[in-house]
Amino acid sequence: MKSFRCPVELALQEGGERSRTGVYPARPTKPENEIMKRAWTLLMIVGTILLLNSAATADWNPGDGHKMHFPQLPDPDGWDVNFMEPKVLADDWGCTETGPVRNIHFWFSSMLDMPFVLEQIHVSIHDDDRSDPAIPSRPGDLLWERDFFPGEFVYRPDGTGDQGWLDPNTGFFQPSDHFQTWQANITDIPDPFIQQVGTIYWLDLSVVAFGTGELGFAELGWKTSLQHWEDDAVWSDFGGASGWQELLDPITGESLDMAFVIAPEPGTIIMLAGVGLMGLAAFVRCRSKRKA
C-alpha cells in the first residue's frame, strides 16, 4: 500500500531528503499525542484571536481606520443636537477610498442623562447639493437609505464631559445639561452604498428612542465634533432640500459639525488569523486521516 503523507505535514516536517519512493524519511519527533495536543492548542488560540477581533470591529477607537477625509471626533464639552424623529441632522464627508460603506459610527448623548433604549436609527446618504452659490452646500438627491433596529446596531458608553443640549427647531439650549457620551456602531451593513473616491456625500441621521426611567421619557442628541470640514452641518424637520438650515453654536454663532466616522472593513489581522485557523485545521484533519 502506498504511504499517505499529508502535504501540510510534509511542509512542517524538518529536514530530510526525498527518497525514490517519494516519501520523506522520518526524523525523530515528539510522540504523536504531543504533536496533536499542540496543534489543537494552536487551533484554539487562533480561533480565540479571530473571534475577539471580530467582536472588536463593532467599536471604533481613535487610531482605527477610516474611509473619509478624517474622523470627526466628539467634542467632550460640546453640544448634543436633538435628532429624534422627525428631526433629521446631516453632515458631509469626503470619500478617500472607493468601496462599500459597511461601517458607520457616531456619537450621541441623552438629554439630562435620562436612561433610554435606542429603538431605531434611520440612515440616509445623499449627494452634495451646491446648486445655489449663495447658500452653503446641503444634502441633495437621495442615494441610499435604510432603517436599523436592535440587533443591527450596538451602542456603548464612550467618555464623559460637560456637555450642552440644543434643539434647533425651538431654539432651546442648555449648557451643562449632561455628562455621558455614547458611541453607536452600525457594522457589516448588507447591500451597502458604494462610495467613489474624491466624491462628497452627506450622512443623514434620525433616531427613535424611549425612556426607561420613572418619567418614561428620553431625548437623544447627535454630538458635535472637535473637527470641522467643508460646510456646516444642517438640520430639518422633514429632510427635504428646501427645509435644510445651518447648525450654529447658540452662544458663539460658530459653525457646528457632527461627530461620526465612516470606517473600513475588518483589518488584515483578522484575515490573517482566519488563514492561520484554516491552515491549522487542515493539519489536524491530515493527521487524523493518517491515523485512520
Which residue intervals of 211-256 are DSSP H helices? none
Contact 140/128 with Cβ under 8 angstroms? yes
Q: Residue 282: is its pLDDT beyond 90?
A: no
- How is residue 193 written as a grid cell? 452604498
Q: Residue 43: is its pLDDT beyond 70?
A: no
Contact 270/57 with Cβ under 8 angstroms? yes
Neighbouring-strand partners of residue 211:
116
Q: Which pLDDT score is estimated for 216?
A: 80
Q: Which pLDDT score is estimated for 134?
A: 84
Percentage of residues of the chain with pLDDT beyond 90: 61
30 DSSP 8-state letter: -
What's the rounded mean pLDDT across residues 16-32? 48
Grade residue 30 by pLDDT with cuts at 50, 70 and 90. low
Q: Residue 157: is its pLDDT beyond 60?
A: yes
Q: Which pLDDT score is estimated for 15?
A: 45
Q: Residue 96: is its pLDDT beyond 90?
A: yes
Of 31-40, 182-191, 238-247, least confident by mean pLDDT is 31-40
What's the rounded mean pLDDT across residues 30-53? 51
- The C-alpha angle with vertex 149 and arms to 185 and 90, in degrees rounded to 5, equals 60
Q: Which pLDDT score is estimated for 136?
A: 86
Q: How many CB atoms lie within 10 A of CB 62?
A: 7
User: If DSSP codes are grouped into helix, strand and coil, which group holds residue 78?
Assistant: coil
Neighbouring-strand partners of residue 173:
166
Of 18-32, 115-129, 151-165, 253-267, least confident by mean pLDDT is 18-32
Q: Residue 151: is its pLDDT beyond 60?
A: yes
Residue found by looking up cell 487551533 in the block: 43
What's the rounded mean pLDDT across residues 247-263? 96
Q: Residue 14: is its pLDDT beyond 50?
A: no
Mean pLDDT of all residues in the chain?
Answer: 81
Cα dihedral 51, 54, 60, 63 sign: positive
User: If DSSP codes are grouped into helix, strand and coil, which group holds residue 96?
Assistant: coil
Query: In terms of pLDDT, which residue wins out, 240 or 68?
Result: 68
Grade residue 4 by pLDDT with cuts at 50, 70 and 90. very low
- How is residue 79 written as a grid cell? 453640544
What's the rounded mean pLDDT across residues 147-171? 96
What's the rounded mean pLDDT across residues 213-228? 91
What's the rounded mean pLDDT across residues 58-78? 93
- How is residue 117 written as a grid cell? 433604549
pTM for the whole thing? 0.73
What's the rounded mean pLDDT across residues 199-218? 93
Q: Residue 272: is its pLDDT beyond 70?
A: no
User: If DSSP codes are grouped into helix, strand and coil, which group holds residue 173?
Assistant: strand
Contact 222/80 with Cβ under 8 angstroms? yes
User: If DSSP codes are grouped into helix, strand and coil, which group holds residue 156?
Assistant: strand
> One-letter amino acid identity for 52?
L
Of 71-85, 219-233, 273-287, least confident by mean pLDDT is 273-287
Distances in Å between the Cα of 281 and the Cα atoms of 9, 11, 37, 53 are: 12, 15, 13, 19
Gap between the Cα atoms of 270 and 84, Å rounded:
36
Q: Which pLDDT score is estimated for 145?
A: 97
